[in-house]
A and B are shown apart, each in its own frame.
Chain A
Amino acid sequence: MDKKKNGIIDKIPNWGWLMISLATALVLWYVLSITPKTARCFPFIPKVIEALKTVVEREILWADIKSSMISVLLGFAFGFCTSVPVAFLMAWYRPVQHIVEPWIQFIRNIPPLAYVPLVVIGAGVGRVPQVIVIWLATFLTMTITIYQGVRNVDSTLIKAARVLGAKDKDLFVKVIFPATTPFILTAVRLGASVALTTLIAAESTGAFAGLGMRIRSFNNSYEVEPMLLYIILIGIIGISIEKIIKFLEKKLTGWQETRQV
């Protein structure tokens, strides 16, 4: 795969590349912040830090993070707990799959923002509609991923277990469950990412706090600096969650032949 060793490029360690990448972004950011056309939407670091101080003083930062995380966690938890049984039912009973799968695919392709007003009409404003929207979005994504995992369990492994004396219960606990683990973890990773990207839509349901809700309110008051700060924050939260899950994946499914992306 590697072509040929070309000296300097290969000698730079990973953390070195990270630094270079960071520096590049900072330069680009700075250039954007002084270019007249983009200066207004890309205030540079000192202004963003200033904004950080303000939102901490106004005591909204922690409240927003907390509120958003509660919605994300609740929605994700409901999504996970419902997608696992539905995925297994789909994989085991053909009729369930035939009836349910087309609709999952259909709804999955609708941007959550589109059906948020419906949820608000049904569930009112506040925490409930936020959780419902995130629940729905994560449920759809995770169900499809886990379902595919259960379908992909190698039938010779099941045969091998049966000839070694496995009963139905053993098959589930000792074969199907571990064989599906990589897909469940992938589903968790995709679900977490969907939960976060859906957050903004979810918080447009008349939330009282939250990162997404605050970005909208900053928008209304033309406060660009804190807005950019919040956007960056959402990115940091997202990548941290992904890193944690990737770490878990590595720990739990290191036995895999080829690692999927």
Chain B
Amino acid sequence: MRSSALVAAVAAGFVSVFVALAPGAAPADDRHPAPKDAYAYIGWPNDGEVVTGRFKVWLGLRNFGVAPSGVDKPNTGHHHLLIDVGVPPLDEPIPNDRNHVHLGAGQTETYLELPPGRHTLQLLMGDADHVPHDPPVTSKKITITVR
């Protein structure tokens, strides 16, 4: 209970009320720590790769572990694949939409089907509640072409 205010009200000498107030918004220092050498990368496809149709993506992780969403263990998280989008705000849960794919069952690879053209892919780990770690465990953003 960091930065909580303790208010003690003593009325007429026989009623004592102790109220601990926590801030309404999740502070940034609430993020799960990650070691500096935790390293995420997209093992496949390579940066600049040309792929066709449905393709496999495998997600690499070093000095860190995988746990399904909802599992709160130090130095673990689950993979998120950011598609054609930048890194979202780091102090809140990663959005869940077609640009932010959650691999909440602890998967380390998946298949994607994207329309023809250029696309970017980036990996971002999230904790039990889908919030990125501090520092964030994220990969380099790669660009691929779908034919």
A and B found bound together: no
| A interface with B by C-beta (< 8 Å) | none
